[in-house]
């Protein structure tokens, strides 16, 4: 049965308003002869209120636009990755490109021949994209197609490439691992989907011994890299509320590793960390995010669902909060040198001081939304706009 938009009498309450920029997918089984029924609640804009002007730059840092390339339309889930000295990126119309990170020069550019549902994963040798028809397409270091594989459903994560594997979660909540050189399926792991899940494109973290996957319902799982066996499963937040929409608490963005910690954020829930080897819960804080986090040796930064940026120490202590970019539709932050780099829904790139949250710089792009996080490529932050610009910003 086809997806339907809710319309007419439905009016978004406070919880639905917090779900702007995210799509909610409901699957209700066993209805009147249908195998399944689904409908989508599309992003709520919050009305026609004007987006506020951004705050002034008060703590400028040396930064400049290094280069720009045009790839084609993008959107949620289409973020560049950095590997082997190059930035890899894809567009929804099927363009896949490798760009020299230092100069912005196109190394190769190919057409996948299919529309894509999410962006690119790469380790520099194998580059993988997910097509809307449920196929994974892999390219070698020169841009030649290496293999294709059928997922059995649409990808809902960006393909993660590393340790000889390509790992992706599909719409049936199955995590599948493929050998990166051949495309042979190595293992799979599956959990039942809740009734309602966020329709968003997240990421997967690969470590030498494990794969870390954020799941619907606020769960984080650690899977053995060789077999996909469950090592541990932890709860970042528990679904709560009187309605199914209020009970959505899915992990958003990509779980990130630093030292012994693996950390992630949930929508309508919390941000928190676990001990990666054992799964023992660490600290957590009540911050609902619709974008995700960044994590490094000294700081965890998260954008909450009101577009406020929070910075926490690695022990969970609150360091500062920047509220001046509220209601601007922020993507997840990137920590790079002295600043956090974050794009917004009007195509502006904001630089925020890591030390105190002051506004340290601002760059326009093409005026279209930046909905996915930037990636660090040395001292360059590479990011992608919805209209198709791939931009490199140098942080001196």
Check whether 16 has a pLDDT greater than 80.
no
Domain CATH number, residue 98 = 2.130.10.10
Q: Is residue 3 part of a domain?
A: no
- Read off the pTM: 0.88
d(CA 78, CA 291): 13
DSSP string, 213-224: EEETTTEEEEEE
Nearest to 14 by CA among 305, 249, 308: 305
How do strand 348-353 and strand 359-364 relate by DSSP bridges? antiparallel
Query: Is residue 29 pLDDT above 50, yes or no?
Result: no
6 belongs to a structural domain: no
What's the DSSP call for residue 387?
T
Per-residue confidence at 36, pLDDT binned at 50, 70, 90?
very low
The domain total for the chain is: 1
CA 327 – CA 305 distance, rounded (Å): 9
Q: Give residue 7's pLDDT band: very low, low, confident or very high (50, 70, 90).
A: very low
Instruction: Give me the pLDDT at residue 228, please.
Output: 98
Q: Residue 28 — very low, low, confident or very high, per pLDDT cuts 50/70/90?
A: very low
* Contact of 161 with 180, CB cutoff 8 Å: yes
Q: Which residue has the tokens 């930037």?
A: 374
Average pLDDT over residues 34-44: 35
pLDDT of residue 242: 67
Radius of gyration of the chain (CA): 20
What tokens were used for 150? 């059928």
In a domain, 71, yes or no: yes
For strands 389-395 and 380-384, give the pairing: antiparallel
- Confidence at residue 3, expressed as pLDDT on a 0 to 100 scale: 32
Tell me what pLDDT residue 19 has.
Answer: 46
Residue 4: inside a domain: no
Whether 281 shows a pLDDT value over 60: the answer reads yes
Q: pLDDT tens, 119-155?
A: 999 999 999 999 999 999 999 999 999 999 999 899 9
Contacting residues for 345 by C-beta, under 8 A, at least 6 apart: 21, 51, 328, 329, 330, 369, 370, 371
216-231: per-residue pLDDT in tens?
888 999 999 999 999 9
Domain-embedded: residue 1:
no
Residue 79 neighbours by CB under 8 Å, 6+ apart: 89, 119, 158, 372, 373, 374, 375, 383, 384
Domain membership of residue 363 as a residue range: 14-395
Residue 245: predicted pLDDT: 72
In a domain, 35, yes or no: yes
Alpha-helix runs per DSSP H in the chain: 14-18
Reduced to 3 states (helix: H, G, I; strand: E, B; else coil), residue 14 is helix
8 within domain boundaries: no
Q: Please tell me the distance from the alpha carbon of residue 299 to that of residue 335, in angstroms, as a whole number.
A: 9
Residues of the chain by 3-state class (helix, strand, coil), percent to 5: 0, 50, 50
pLDDT higher than 70, residue 9 = no
pLDDT at position 202: 83
If DSSP codes are grouped into helix, strand and coil, which group holds residue 13?
coil
Distance of CA 300 to CAs 99, 252, 258, 321, 376, Å?
A: 29, 15, 10, 12, 16
DSSP assigned state of 32:
T
CA-angle at 212, arms to 17 and 208, nearest 5°: 150
pLDDT in tens, 59-110: 999 999 999 999 999 988 899 999 999 999 999 999 999 999 999 999 999 9
User: Do 189 and 15 touch, CB atoms closer than 8 A?
Assistant: no
Nearby residues of 166 by Cβ (< 8 Å), 6 or more positions away: 121, 126, 128, 136, 138, 159, 160, 177, 178, 179, 180, 183
Please indicate, yes or no, if residue 335 is contained in any of the structural domains.
yes
Q: pLDDT by residue (tens digit) across 183-222?
A: 999 999 998 876 666 566 789 999 999 999 998 888 999 9
> What is the pLDDT at residue 1?
34
Own/partner contacts of 111-116, CB < 8 Å, gap of 24 or more, are: 112/137, 116/78, 116/90, 116/91, 116/92
Q: Rounded to an integer, what distance in angstroms lies between the CA atom of residue 224 and that of residue 7?
A: 44
pLDDT of residue 200: 62
Taking residues 228-255, report their average pLDDT.
Answer: 83
Query: What is the average pLDDT across 350-376?
Result: 96
CB distance 380 to 86 below 8 Å: no
Q: What phi and psi values does residue 16 have, to the nearest 5 degrees?
A: -65, -35
At 63 the pLDDT is: 96
What's the pLDDT band for 311 if we cut at 50, 70, 90?
very high
CB 269, CB 288: distance < 8 Å:
yes
């Amino acid at each position: 049965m086809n997806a339907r938009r809710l319309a007419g009498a439905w009016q978004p309450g406070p919880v639905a308003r917090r779900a702007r920029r995210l799509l909610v997918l409901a699957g209700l089984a066993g209805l009147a002869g249908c195998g399944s029924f689904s409908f989508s609640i599309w992003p709520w804009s919050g009305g026609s209120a004007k987006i506020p002007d951004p705050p002034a730059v008060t703590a400028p840092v040396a930064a400049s636009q290094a280069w720009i390339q045009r790839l084609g339309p993008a959107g949620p889930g289409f973020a560049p990755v950095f590997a082997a000295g190059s930035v890899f990126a894809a567009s929804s119309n099927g363009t896949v490109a490798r760009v020299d990170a230092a100069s912005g020069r196109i190394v190769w550019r190919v057409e996948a021949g299919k529309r894509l549902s999410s962006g690119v994963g790469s380790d520099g040798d194998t580059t993988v994209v997910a097509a809307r028809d449920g196929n994974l397409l892999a390219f070698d270091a020169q841009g030649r197609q290496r293999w294709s594989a059928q997922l059995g459903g649409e990808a809902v994560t960006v393909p993660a490439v590393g340790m000889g594997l390509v790992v992706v979660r599909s719409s049936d909540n199955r995590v599948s691992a493929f050998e990166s050189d051949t495309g042979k399926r190595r293992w799979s792991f599956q959990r039942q989907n809740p009734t309602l899940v966020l329709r968003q494109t997240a990421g997967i973290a690969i470590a030498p011994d494990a794969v870390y996957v954020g799941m619907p319902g606020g769960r984080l799982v650690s899977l053995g890299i060789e077999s996909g066996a469950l090592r541990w499963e932890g709860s970042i937040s528990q679904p709560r509320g009187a309605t199914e929409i209020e009970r959505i608490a899915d992990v958003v963005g990509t779980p990130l590793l630093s030292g012994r910690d693996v950390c992630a954020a949930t929508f309508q829930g919390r941000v928190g960390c676990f001990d990666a080897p054992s799964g023992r819960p660490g600290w957590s804080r009540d911050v609902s995010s619709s974008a995700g986090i960044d994590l490094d040796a000294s700081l965890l930064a998260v954008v909450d669902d009101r577009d406020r940026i929070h910075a926490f120490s690695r022990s969970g202590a609150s360091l500062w909060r920047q509220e001046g970019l509220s209601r601007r539709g922020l993507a997840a932050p990137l920590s790079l040198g002295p600043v956090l780099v974050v794009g917004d829904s009007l195509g502006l790139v904001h630089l925020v001081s890591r030390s105190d949250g002051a506004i340290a710089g601002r760059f326009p792009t093409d005026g279209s939304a930046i909905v996915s996080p930037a990636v660090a490529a040395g001292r360059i932050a590479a990011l992608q706009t919805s209209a198709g610009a791939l931009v490199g910003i140098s942080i001196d």
